Amino acid sequence: MSASLHSPPSSALSSSSSLQETRLSFIVRSARPNFNFKSHRSFPQIRASTGFSSSLDTGSITELDSVSRYSEIVPDTVIFDDFERFPPTAATVSSSLLLGICSLPDTMFRSAVDTALADSECYGPAGPDVRMSCFVNKALVNIGGELAKLVPGRVSTEVDARLAYDTHGIVRKVHDLLKLYHGIDVPPERLLFKIPSTWQGIEASRVLESEGIQTHLTFVYSFGQAAAAAQAGASVIQIFVGRIRDWARNHSGDPEIEAALRRGEDPGLALVTKAYNYIHKYGHKSKLMAAAVRNKQDIFNLLGVDYIITPLKILQSLKDSITPPDDKYSFAGRLSPQSATAYNFSDEELVKWDQYSFASAMGPAAEELLTAGLDGYVNQARRVEELFGKIWPPPNV
């Protein structure tokens, strides 16, 4: 993704992992810029001034318009009923989305799934596992192709999380998906491939980016992950602000988080700030996406980051909040390429990251949160396969 989602090719996305609320991340053209845990710790709130957002008919400025000057807003959008309120410019296709589509037979995307399950290319002599993998690949790509017709930006396709520790497996899977996209005339510049930020996933990103294939590294919870991903040339790096905060409220013993707390900083926001400054100070091409924001204050504190995935409730609140004329210029970007130059990094943070230094830098928060994220994705992938096994072949085939 880019500082503006429209250059490089508008991109972005992220889908939430809830089956009951199958969500798809979209970029809102007009917009830029909460695990509720029992709090065992409190974090300082850095107040950003209230700003702008546009109310089209009155000429007044809303907070949504104001934050949109600094960051591209990525709505965490329910695919089936939110196109009107927040028109998307980019999207993600995932196992979670497949489950949601299959639970709603009348959706416009259901035929893309049925077509995949009816594809004779998957019927060969190979065993059931290979056939099922073929069906899932076809379904993801068929839906991704439909989404590419609906949005002007990039479509991010989730790579099977069961390959998270297999560099060659990830590369092969992306090549397979890309070949299918080529078959339906979706060009590579319209695509991202969403890969977990294990060391093997980051190495796969390095290989793919060297081939001109754009990658979207997710489940980033530590500076080592973010820096290694930037060195690999990942197009998009996604950090989950709220999940890091939630972990810190209920756990202790992570050196990176403890250091942020000693500085009086929110650990999730601190990681985004550090990663952003690293990327810009040292000239990496990656764009940074902040996810799992919990409230408007998080948005204000992240202004300047390339993308912010924003729940619809927060988006609506920003849209409904009018900024008084005297305050319309009072928002300020907290992150910028200029301010990044003044940020100081330790020698240990400026290493050329390898598997050993990467593993050494992964604290308990990153390890636990990465594992939890992978477990969720793997569970969804298995549920998709179980569901496809029950409905294959489609009734009209």
Q: What is the largest CA-CA distance in the chain?
A: 71
Could you tell me which residues come within 8 angstroms of residue 1 by beta carbon, excluding any fewer than 6 positions away?
8, 10, 11, 12, 72, 90, 154, 192, 216, 235, 236, 287, 289, 306, 307
- Is 274 catalytic? The answer is no
Residue-range domain boundaries for the chain: 23-391
Count CB neighbours of 325 within 10 A. Answer: 10
CA 328 to mean position of chain CA atoms: 30
Could you tell me which residues come within 8 angstroms of residue 88 by beta carbon, excluding any fewer than 6 positions away?
24, 26, 27, 28, 75, 77, 150, 151
Cβ atoms of 25 and 74 within 8 Å: the answer is yes
pLDDT of residue 127: 83
pLDDT of residue 28: 39
Which has the closest alpha carbon to 97: 149, 147, 172? 147
Which has the closest alpha carbon to 74: 275, 278, 233, 299? 299
Which has the closest alpha carbon to 17: 284, 378, 389, 388? 378
CA 283 to mean position of chain CA atoms: 22
pLDDT of residue 331: 77
For the chain, 397 residues long, give each residue's pLDDT as a single digit of tens. Answer: 333 333 333 333 433 333 333 444 444 333 333 333 333 343 333 222 233 334 444 557 899 989 999 999 888 765 555 666 777 777 899 999 999 888 887 778 889 999 999 998 998 767 888 999 999 999 999 999 999 998 888 999 999 999 999 999 999 999 999 999 999 999 999 999 999 999 999 999 999 999 999 999 999 999 999 999 999 999 999 999 999 999 999 999 999 999 999 999 999 999 999 999 999 999 999 999 999 999 999 999 999 999 999 988 999 999 999 877 666 556 788 999 999 999 999 999 999 999 999 999 999 999 999 999 999 999 999 999 999 988 876 655 5
Which pTM value belongs to this model? 0.84
Q: Which residue has the tokens 């319209």?
A: 190
* Angle in degrees, 0-180, between the axes of helices 223-232 and 199-210, rounded to the nearest 10: 20
| SS3 state at 259 | helix
Alpha carbons 234 and 259: distance in angstroms, whole number: 27
Active-site entry in 138, 173, 194, 328: 194
The two tokens of residue 75 are 């709505």
CATH architecture of 23-391: Alpha-Beta Barrel (3.20)
Q: Which residue has the tokens 């007009």?
A: 30
Cβ atoms of 312 and 78 within 8 Å: the answer is yes
